[in-house]
Amino acid sequence: MTPLSQRKQQILRVLVEEYIHTATPVASEALVRKYVLGFSSATVRHELAGLEEANLIYQPHTSAGRVPTDLGYRYFVEHLMQESALSLDEQRLIRHQFYQVQDQLDQWVRLTASVMARLLHSAAVMTPPRSTEGRLKHFEVLSIADLSAYMVLVLMDGTVKQQRLLLETPVSQEDLSGITAYLNHMLEGKNALEINDLLAKRDLAPLARLIATTIIRILEQHGDMLGDMFYREGVVNILEQPEYSRMGPEVERNERVRKVLEVLEQNRFLPALASHLRESDGVQVIIGGENQWDEMRDVSLVVARYGREGKVGGLLGVIGPTRMQYGRAIAVVRYMSQVMNELLEEYGYE
């Protein structure tokens, strides 16, 4: 992108801030009247035309004011935004809430999501902390029908996994218990790669091999930071935003509501998170059309990892309309990530 002049940067910054605040296309006269820019309406209109030509803003209608594009938001986030910090009172209140739940891991996750949703009046998402490498501690296989069994695995980080097994021939519980005891002795403490190496060297019976390969698959999936469990809070907060409650014709609003609910309820945002977070550290901002999912064109995500690399951790973040308070969102997500890091370390989960 061609570098912007100081004047264009100043105008773009106040335009984005004004639109985030009002959810109404911003006219040049409003900028001159509300902000001390130091130049005339004609100059502002000229610079707005240049920003529009650079695809940083656009006019929804000929007679309307301007609205930031995804590219405009991106420029604002990277070059113009002032990140706000949580007040000391907010920090004290948050830490007091966590003190009340003590070492209850599942409550940390729910509370973190709830705090983010409340502070930002947005939707919050979070994965529970999990080891980045699944290692088997113990498992049992229980017969439930002639050709069906039920496997329960306990991993070294305390995670419990369950999996149904479809058998080719009927197997008694006594035989299942014998195979289970043999494999537990062989596989305890091992990860998916180590178990796979063992299978290549051992001549196992078909049922033992089926059980071992199922364990490998479960351990491989456990190593995925995104996992198979997600907590959500504050979905109604998004639906109260102007984009979904009053902006545009009713049919367009309904379509935006449908898309954002589909994103949240079906975890359609997970591929977008995976592509950004696996290669990045710190707080990441994903704006509207920067991902390939059509359902996410109208939303932005501010997300971060928590925990330590190679140890126990997860991700947390917020989802809202592209017209979100990015500085505030980044500050909240960063702070809550720090809180989770401290809790994991204090209670020995790392």
Q: Check: CB of residue 322 under 8 Å from CB of residue 130.
A: no
The pLDDT of residue 224: 59
Do 306 and 330 meet the contact criterion of CB atoms below 8 Å apart?
no
Rg of the chain on CA atoms, in Å: 26
Q: What is the pLDDT of residue 223?
A: 59
Q: How far apart are CA 189 and CA 101, in angstroms?
A: 31
pLDDT given for residue 59 in this prediction = 92
Q: Closest Cα to residue 151, out of 77, 83, 74, 208? A: 208
From the options 3.90.550.10, 3.30.360.10, 3.30.450.40, 3.30.70.20, give the CATH code of 88-130+226-346. 3.30.450.40
pTM to 2 decimal places: 0.76
pLDDT the model gives residue 269 = 65
Summary mean pLDDT of the chain: 87
**What does the pLDDT read at residue 213?**
94
pLDDT, tens digit, for every residue of 105-148? 778 889 999 999 999 999 998 888 877 678 899 999 999 988 89
Cα 298 from Cα 121, distance rounded (Å): 17
**pLDDT average, residue stretch 213-226:** 79
Cα(314)–Cα(64) distance, rounded to whole angstroms?
43
Alpha carbons 121 and 350: distance in angstroms, whole number: 31
List the beta bridge partners of residue 126: 231, 316
Dump the DSSP string for 102-161.
TT-HHHHHHHHHHHHHHHHTSEEEEPPPEESS--EEEEEEEEEETTEEEEEEEETTS-EE
Domain 136-222 listed as CATH 3.30.390 = yes
- Rounded CA gap, 10 and 217, in Å? 53
Residue 305's pLDDT band (boundaries 50, 70, 90)? confident
Domain boundaries, the chain: 6-80, 88-130+226-346, 136-222
CATH topology of domain 6-80: Arc Repressor Mutant, subunit A (1.10.10)
166-184: pLDDT as tens digits = 998 999 999 999 999 999 9
